[in-house]
Chains A and B, each alone.
Chain A
Amino acid sequence: QKEVEQDPGPLSVPEGAIVSLNCTYSNSAFQYFMWYRQYSRKGPELLMYTYSSGNKEDGRFTAQVDKSSKYISLFIRDSQPSDSATYLCAMNARNTPLVFGKGTRLSVIA
């Protein structure tokens, strides 16, 4: 079993839809959870950063972490064509390298 599993998609949704992106993981030591957005041929951009379990909201984005289920989610409300990108989850334990998911390719169709 890989440390971090993420469905690569592609995921295609109409503009305005709510998007749900998810990752599961196996290492119970992970405490820090991140979502990055990566446009084609660009570096990843940090979207959300969460420590331990709980929810975090920033504008149209909501990150959820359920450590008991080893499951994290990113919700995008009122999705826009400009949200079309690859979304990578990443996580780690203290003082250890980040472990990335494979990324989910999202297309928001106008």
Chain B
Amino acid sequence: GAVVSQHPSRVICKSGTSVKIECRSLDFQATTMFWYRQFPKKSLMLMATSNEGSKATYEQGVEKDKFLINHASLTLSTLTVTSAHPEDSSFYICSAKSPSSYNEQFFGPGTRLTVL
């Protein structure tokens, strides 16, 4: 149980375009999902916390107009990178809290974004 999927696993886009990444909890309902960014050989940086039916809470330094988060249902959260630039190239990972365990987070497989 507690499986989280992400789609797509890899995306290459041109500078200036927008990219949407989906995060789904496959076998549980996640009231809270998280979006992280990871640079090569670096740890995970929390970008935002997404609660179903409400606005996401963004970490300091993360532009909410650039990284749009929508948590429309208990099993789906989306991250849209708007007007992507090469510096947005990174590994984006989502996670979801399992309701069966108070504090555990389960991670998706990640999405590698490359902006040309």
- Tell whether, in the assembled complex, residue B105 and residue A42 are in contact, meaning their CB atoms are under 8 Å apart: no
**A46 located at the interface, meaning its Cβ lies under 8 Å from any Cβ of chain B in the complex:** yes
Tell me, yes or no, whether B28 is within 8 Å of chain A by CB: no
| Contact mask for chain A residues 10-53; partner B; CB cutoff 8 A; 1 contact, 0 none | 00000000000000000000001010100001111110010100
For chain B, the bracket of interface size reads 20 to 34
**Helix, strand, loop or mixed for chain B's interface?**
strand
- A49→B104 contact, CB < 8 A: yes
Kindly state the separation between the CA atoms of A49 and B105 in the bound complex, as whole angstroms.
10
- A52 to B62: give the CA distance in the assembly, Å: 31
Is there a chain A Cβ closer than 8 Å to B8's Cβ?
A: no
**Bound CA–CA A45/B6 (angstroms):** 14
Closest residue on chain B to residue A105 by CB atoms: B41
CA A89 to CA B109, docked complex, whole Å:
18
**Pairwise interchain contact A97-B101, C-beta atoms closer than 8 A:** no
Distance between A31 CB and nearest chain B CB, rounded to angstroms? 8
* Known contacts A43-B95, A44-B93, A97-B59; 15 further A-B pairs (Cβ under 8 A): A36-B107, A41-B112, A43-B6, A43-B107, A43-B108, A45-B107, A46-B104, A46-B105, A49-B101, A98-B34, A98-B105, A100-B43, A101-B43, A102-B42, A102-B43
